[in-house]
């Protein structure tokens, strides 16, 4: 054997043995850690001074481990397996009501039309105080889902408190198979236009089929010239569903998303596999900070291929992919197994969970980098999807933001509807609504202190501490009174916005979920901006050309 062959043979053995040593060290560390963890668990469970619940102690250990990773890696016990089924199948056994906390009360915040909760007379704003024989409070709110959901055909007794009714009301509801609609609304908006509005609220298995059926139905009515796809507040769902939705708009053969796991050799590229049903209509996509995961896959794909103008505010920034791994005893592990990349190659993950984390090795994927779309427009990684047209829908009034945070519009609409349930929304004057709202807010003892007033109070205290004199403190007090007077005029100053928010809540009670959507679009800056861009082909094309940044 010549010297070069000997050299390569030795090099091969050293490299190969290095890999073996590395792998064996890694697996040795895993086995050592399992042994230590098991010993600690056993010793504490058997010898701690007070009796320990073995299952809860084990769950606490698992929770502690997973908290060192990212918030999307979770252990799912048998009581939460139904939630996984809802995401994957888009169905569950329930009553058709959405429940949330409103001012510390467990309250019905939405009803799905056609199911038992709505058919049998539950209302938005009803406060749930008991399910069967179990009292319901904010303390056991997290377990409420398990009480309400169950096998279709079984019954559940719900006791509620309703504003305007002196006695508690009890409803015996039959659970049904609830099919979650991903597409909350579709139709021509404005009504007589050729613009289609699609409100996509989720990405369960049927999302793509729902979009396809809606477009076919609308196509049969008249020509579709433009489409607004609303992904605002859509938290995402299945990767396959996001790909399926993209295929309705992108040409066959185009790259939609790339998924890369820990193993650099395991890279999956997903391309559009079908001819799009809506390849020619102009397209705008609405996003906001609530648009995450699958929503960002869709928005990123159509943006990178210059297929749509993105309108709104920056998306959430979740570029991680999870896999559900079944475990023993009807439990599962939802674990982050990969990152996804848009067609231009960017990872839009905003938060770097490896930063200042001893468990995770440093990742460089969250460094903001420039990429280019097909038309060579600049787009950025590591911060969610940045819209092509940034439009903020948030109220400019701090008072309105506070009224929203305190649920005053929700509570007022509940009060007004329960005391005037036969009302016709179109017959109520704006002046009447504003007057009744002012009275209601006053009766609720709502107090608004602006950030400026808080700052003045702090200055007054500092002035007293530093003995700056009564005259200076008096000037601050006068300024505070002036600001308070301006605050009292805020409702009149922003009355149009206040009335629209009240009508939106009332529409949800009188017409349902569709009514809320239609009413909200009447005063929606992001929707109006998207519509104006789509109605002007010249501006639309300019947004998608290389000279716009």
Q: Give catalytic residue positions.
A: 293, 304, 318
Rounded Cα gap, residues 175 and 111, in angstroms: 14
- How far from each other are the two terminal CA atoms of the chain, in whole angstroms? 63
The dihedral sign for the CA sequence 35, 41, 46, 49: positive
Is 248 in contact with 276 (CB distance < 8 Å)? yes
Closest CA to 343 of 242, 234, 211: 242
User: Token digits for 124?
Assistant: 């938005």
Instruction: Give alpha helix (H) positions in 406-548.
Output: 408-419, 430-443, 451-465, 470-488, 490-493, 495-510, 513-521, 525-534, 537-543
Rg of the chain over Cα atoms, rounded to whole angstroms, equals 28
SS3 per-residue string spanning 155-175: EEEEEEECCCCCCCEEEEEEC
- The structure tokens 């668990």 sit at 41
The dihedral sign for the CA sequence 362, 366, 369, 375: positive
Rounded Cα gap, residues 317 and 292, in angstroms: 6
Rounded Cα gap, residues 75 and 339, in angstroms: 20
């Amino acid at each position: 054997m010549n010297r070069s062959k000997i050299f390569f043979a030795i090099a091969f053995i050293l490299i190969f043995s290095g890999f073996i040593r590395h792998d064996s060290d890694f697996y040795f560390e895993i086995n050592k850690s399992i042994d230590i963890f098991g010993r600690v668990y056993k010793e504490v469970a058997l010898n701690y001074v007070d009796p320990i619940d073995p299952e809860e102690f084990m769950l606490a250990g698992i929770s502690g481990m997973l908290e060192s990773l990212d918030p999307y890696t979770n252990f799912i016990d048998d009581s939460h397996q139904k939630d996984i089924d809802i995401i994957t199948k888009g169905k569950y056994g329930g009553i058709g009501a959405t429940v949330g906390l409103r001012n510390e009360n467990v309250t019905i915040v939405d009803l799905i039309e056609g199911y038992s909760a709505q058919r049998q007379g539950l209302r938005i704003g009803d406060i749930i105080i008991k399910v069967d024989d179990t009292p319901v409070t904010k303390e056991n709110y997290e377990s409420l889902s398990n009480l309400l959901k169950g096998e279709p055909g079984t019954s559940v007794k719900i006791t509620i408190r309703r504003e305007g009714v002196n006695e508690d009301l009890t409803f015996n509801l039959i659970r049904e198979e609830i099919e979650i609609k991903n597409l909350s609304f579709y139709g021509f908006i404005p009504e007589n236009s050729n613009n289609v509005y699609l409100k996509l609220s989720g990405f369960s298995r049927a999302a793509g089929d729902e979009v396809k059926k809606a477009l076919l139905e609308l196509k049969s009515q008249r020509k579709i010239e433009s489409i607004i796809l609303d992904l605002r507040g859509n938290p995402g769902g299945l990767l396959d569903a996001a790909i399926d939705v993209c295929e309705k708009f992108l040409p066959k053969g185009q790259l939609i998303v790339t998924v890369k796991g820990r193993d650099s050799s395991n890279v999956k590229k997903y391309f559009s596999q079908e001819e799009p049903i809506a390849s020619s209509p102009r397209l705008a996509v609405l996003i906001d900070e609530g648009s995450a995961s699958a929503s960002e896959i869709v928005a990123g794909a159509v943006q990178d291929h210059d297929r749509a103008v993105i309108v709104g505010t920056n998306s959430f920034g979740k570029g991680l992919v999870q896999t559900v791994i079944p475990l023993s005893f009807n439990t599962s592990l939802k674990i982050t197994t990969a990152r996804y990349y848009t067609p231009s190659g960017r990872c839009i993950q905003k938060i770097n969970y490896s930063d200042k984390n001893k468990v995770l090795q440093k990742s460089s994927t969250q460094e903001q980098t420039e990429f280019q779309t097909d038309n060579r427009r600049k787009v950025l990684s590591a911060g969610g999807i940045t819209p092509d047209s940034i439009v903020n829908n948030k109220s400019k009034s701090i008072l309105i933001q506070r009224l929203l945070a305190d649920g005053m519009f929700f509570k007022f609409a509940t009060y007004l509807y329960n005391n005037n349930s036969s009302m016709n929304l179109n017959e109520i004057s704006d002046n009447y609504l504003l007057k009744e709202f002012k009275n209601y807010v006053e009766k609720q003892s709502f107090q608004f202190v602006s950030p400026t007033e808080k700052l003045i109070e702090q200055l007054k205290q500092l002035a007293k501490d530093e003995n700056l004199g009564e005259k200076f403190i008096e000037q601050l007090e006068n300024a505070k009174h002036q600001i308070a007077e301006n605050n009292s005029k805020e409702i009149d100053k922003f009355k149009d916005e206040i009335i629209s928010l009240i009508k939106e809540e009332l529409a949800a009670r009188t017409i349902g979920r569709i009514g809320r959507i239609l009413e909200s679009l009447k005063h929606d800056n992001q929707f109006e901006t998207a519509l104006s861009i789509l109605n002007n082909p010249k501006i639309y094309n300019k947004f998608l050309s290389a000279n716009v940044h």
